Amino acid sequence: MALRRPPRLRLYARLPDFFLLLLFRGCLIGAVNLKSSNRTPVVQEFESVELSCIITDSQTSDPRIEWKKIQNGETTYVFFDNKIQGVLVGRAEILGKTSLKIWNVTRTDSALYRCEVVARNDRKEIDEIMIELTVQVKPVTPVCRVPKAVPVGKMATLHCQEGEGHPRPHYSWYRNDVPLPTDSRANPRFRNSSFHLNSETGTLVFSAVHKDDSGRYYCIASNDAGSARCEEQEMEVYDLNIGGIIGGVLVVLAVLALITLGICCAYRRGYFISSKQDGESYKNPGKADGVNYIRTDEEGDFRHKSSFLI
């Protein structure tokens, strides 16, 4: 049979636990502590947002409050020396002693914000809390490039780009108002096609187009803030006319042969020989003025064969 302790003895047995609790609470008294109702706020561009930073415990009546912005590896002051600093001047204020409210936020306000509190009269003097602000921007109308005509069996690439949305948008392509999967092999409906869609870059690549790939194409860029689409564009897939290509080559060859034959005939008929003389023609020297001298047997004896003509 178990013996029961008197009530007074049970009270004495609990005294050590009670003193430990008082000691633990005494250690916490005078320690500044912070909390936030939302550490990852998300807001649309040009709206307002509150970065929550609340002091839960502190014995200091007038603690020092600082806000800092951390973006691209750089840290700048947002609230310091009881004043709004930097790019937030004129569109931010401190609420409830420590929280920060920003009006007309822009995409450049997306960053990490650190709330720091220094309470000189507390046993734990410093505490801080990090808040990540995301400013969403709706995409604008993307720029789409669709080839107008592609021969059967050839490769074709469709492009879709948008540079304003934040976070970066995802892209989807439509043909005749039907959404296309990221891979044609994943859907039996597109078994006659051979394409791959990169939803991150917006490119739609056909490795070898088919007649069924003809149609009206458009692209949609979307993120958490909204979506936008480009105007639809027609892409025609046509068969190559092999007979026509061969016939065209033969016609060109025939024309070249006729031109060559005409040049040869003109050359033979002298159309390409210049009629200009290179110089004057000279006659062979004739006899002098009709006088003919005959040598006789006697040396030095000359006589006229004929008289001079005047």
**Domain residue spans of the chain:** 30-136, 143-238
* Assigned fold of 30-136: Immunoglobulin-like (2.60.40)
What's the pLDDT band for 307 if we cut at 50, 70, 90?
A: very low
Provide the pLDDT for residue 259: 85
pLDDT tens by residue, 174-211: 999 999 999 999 888 898 899 999 999 999 999 999 99
CA 104 to chain centre: 28
Provide the pLDDT for residue 15: 43
Alpha-carbon distance of 185 to 194, in angstroms, equals 7
- For residue 169, cis peptide bond before it (omega within 30 degrees of 0): no
CA 229 to chain centre: 17
Provide the pLDDT for residue 308: 43
**Which residues, 6 or more positions from 22, have their beta carbon under 8 angstroms from its beta carbon?**
none
pLDDT tens by residue, 209-261: 999 999 999 999 999 999 999 999 999 999 876 666 676 777 788 788 888 87
- Asked whether the domain spanning 143-238 has the same topology as the one spanning 30-136, the reply is yes
Q: Which two tokens stand for residue 155?
A: 């490769």
The structure's pTM equals: 0.60
Provide the pLDDT for residue 134: 96
**DSSP letters spanning 152-216:** TT--EEEEEE--S-BSPPEEEEEETTEEPPSBGGG-GGGTT--EEEETTTTEEEESS--GGG-EE
Q: In CATH, what class is 143-238?
A: mainly beta
Provide the pLDDT for residue 31: 85
pLDDT tens by residue, 263-288: 888 777 777 665 554 444 444 455 45
**Which residues, 6 or more positions from 13, have their beta carbon under 8 angstroms from its beta carbon?**
5
- The three-state secondary structure class of 47 is coil
Provide the pLDDT for residue 282: 45
Alpha-carbon distance of 242 to 221, in angstroms, equals 40
